[in-house]
Amino acid sequence: SAVISQKPSRDICQRGTSLTIQCQVDSQVTMMFWYRQQPGQSLTLIATANQGSEATYESGFVIDKFPISRPNLTFSTLTVSNMSPEDSSIYLCSATPSTDTQYFGPGTRLTVL
């Protein structure tokens, strides 16, 4: 299994600003992902965080808006840039250790005013 922590757990931000969310895994993992959950909705994949190379983004998500870093096999960051109220969501990171099971962090609850 994998234990995943995220910081911050929640934040309230002003429109036009940026927030960086950190994700830490307690062991080295091959794959890390970032998801968004808008209010009352299911989870949608933003991107796959690739170690040592650029992230792979899903349709509808772009690097300028959601830059992602993954400097090593246990850590990743997601930045939500130039925020608007529509970015208010829960952002979750996940990781897949040696098995196929994917584990999730506790999420970051973001409110944009």
Which residues of the shown chain bind another protein in the complex (CB under 8 A)?
Answer: 31, 33, 37, 41-45, 48, 58, 90, 92, 94, 96, 99-104, 106-107, 109
Cβ closer to another protein: 13 or 43? Answer: 43
Give 31: exposed, middle or buried? Use CB within 10 Å, 0-12, 13-18, 19+. Answer: middle
- Are 57 and 66 a contacting pair, CB within 8 Å? yes
Residue 52 CA, distance from chain mean position: 17
**Least Å distance between CB 105 and another protein?**
8
Nearer to another protein, 41 or 82 (CB): 41
What's the min distance (Å) between Cβ of 26 and another protein?
A: 15
Q: Where are the beta strands (DSSP E) in 1-113?
A: 4-7, 10-13, 19-25, 31-37, 43-49, 56-57, 68-69, 75-80, 89-96, 103-104, 108-112
Min separation Cβ 18 and another protein, Å: 22
**Nearest distance from residue 37's CB to another protein, in Å?**
8
Residue with smaller CB distance to another protein, 56 or 72: 56
Which lies closer to another protein via its Cβ, residue 11 or residue 58? 58
| CB contact at 8 A, 6 and 66 | no
